[in-house]
Amino acid sequence: MVAASAIRIVPPGRPLRGKLELPGSKSITNRALLLAALSKGRSLLTGALKSDDTRYMARALQQMGVQVEEPTETSFVVTGTGALAVPETPLFLGNAGTAVRFLTAAVAARVPGEVVLDGDEHMHKRPIGPLLSALAALGVKASAPTGCPPVTVEGTGHLAGGEVRIDAGLSSQYVSAVLMAAGCADAPVEIALQGSGLDARGYVDLTVATMQAFGGEVQAEDTMRWRVQPKPYVATDFYIEPDASAATYPWAAGVLTGGGIDVGLDPMAFSQPDAKAWQMMTLFPHMPAEIDGSQMQDAVPTLAVLAAFNQTPVRFVGIRNLRVKECDRISAVSTELNRICPGLAREDGDDLIVNGDPTLAGQSRPTRIETYSDHRIAMAFALTGLLIDEITILNPACVGKTWPGYWDALRGLGVELVAE
């Protein structure tokens, strides 16, 4: 973890080439940790991510009686009984959205008592009301007076079956949370979407695949409905693929500098939806006039930084959910791009328009980038410093949420970083 309060990136002035090792997928790691905890027996999770978000999940599971060991830097050994005990203190989950949402549903199904789930000041702004409404249909008593954490769940150790409708307009994680908990229900659960569709559907597909790996019985009946049969999860050894969202940064670094960086896995081989961003990157500096970010939301800040150097403007659509991530990423990206060059970006409703300006490359634009304690803002905007001199990233340690070794990875590619 970086101790400096700021890091200035020195443009390398040459194509970046090389190979680096990506961290494991955060999305898959936290799903696998939970499902292993809900299984009876010992599961070995390899290729796992060790970061703030996954450690919050692991510690919360330990508070509920699950044995979680870390034999290596990329593995967990999880020994579960299929049940979760009442924790003695509230579960503190930082700003880990996956952890707080997945565990809210899981404790409702498996903890026979009251559980409080809380987080930091940023978590207190992340909506959870739609998930609680969905769980209420399955007999769960839970409350969050502000509509955001802290959440109090009055668990019974059981989850009723039946049909539940979920408004997933703000987050696909609500669907994933109910899907995984439904495997522990007393009867089959039918999950149906409210509204016209689901952004970030690929993450729900990840949930289904991980459930099936742990013996869960779940199937998609159509694009708006899933059916889960109650069936005990089975402990298993499980490999976690590298993080596709993390891959977008070295991919973009190679594209921006005219080089190429090998992340150890072909872009088309990822199962995670953010890998789709690679197809847009291959078009740089002639990216399309409109990019639908709905199915690759965490990659949008990276693509927006690329778009800042594109030959023509790019409008990002389908990204309204970015307003309720670790920060309001639409506003943050627009604000910080304009901090570098006034007029470089603007918001249009929930769309983001980036006015490409390839002449920025090679300029000196002394700018201190606010990161809003958001790892993706820090990692994406570090890329601007590969082409523009005097770019400084504030609070660089926030990358520890998903990629603690990010700055070391850049150094490994030959990028000079000056700590301030």
Residues 41-53 pLDDT 10s: 999 999 999 999 9
Strands of 230-376, DSSP E? 238-239, 260-262, 290-292, 314-317, 345-348, 351-354, 364-369
Of the residues 52, 274, 298, 374, only one is catalytic, namely 298
pLDDT above 90 covers a percentage of the chain that reads 96
Q: Give binding residues as ranges.
A: 26-27, 31, 97, 126, 171-173, 298, 321, 325, 329, 376, 401
The pLDDT score that the predictor gives to residue 364 is 98
Residues 298-324 pLDDT 10s: 999 999 999 999 999 999 999 999 999
Q: Give binding residues for 3-phosphoshikimate as ranges.
A: 26-27, 31, 171-173, 298, 321, 325
* Cα 99 to Cα 51: distance, rounded to the nearest angstrom: 12
The pLDDT score that the predictor gives to residue 139 is 94
pTM of the model: 0.95
Active site annotation includes 298 = yes
The pLDDT score that the predictor gives to residue 198 is 80
Model confidence at 169: pLDDT above 90: no
* Cα 65 to Cα 221: distance, rounded to the nearest angstrom: 35
Beta-strand pair 75-81/67-72: antiparallel
The pLDDT score that the predictor gives to residue 240 is 98
Residues 123-164 pLDDT 10s: 999 999 999 999 999 999 999 999 999 999 999 999 999 999
Q: What is the mean pLDDT of residues 262-289?
A: 97
* Cα 354 to Cα 313: distance, rounded to the nearest angstrom: 6
The answer for residues whose C-beta is within 8 angstroms of residue 109's C-beta and 6 or more apart is 155, 157, 158, 159, 181, 184, 185
Region of residue 47 (phi > 0: left; psi between -120 and 50: alpha; otherwise: beta) = left
Q: What is the mean pLDDT of residues 365-392?
A: 98
* Cα 179 to Cα 206: distance, rounded to the nearest angstrom: 11
The pLDDT score that the predictor gives to residue 223 is 85
Query: Residue 1 — pLDDT band, cuts 50, 70, 90?
Result: very low
Strands of 230-275, DSSP E? 238-239, 260-262
Model confidence at 222: pLDDT above 50: yes
Model confidence at 363: pLDDT above 90: yes
Instruction: Look at 123 and 195; give whichever has higher pLDDT.
Output: 123
Copy the structure tokens of residue 250.
């070295």
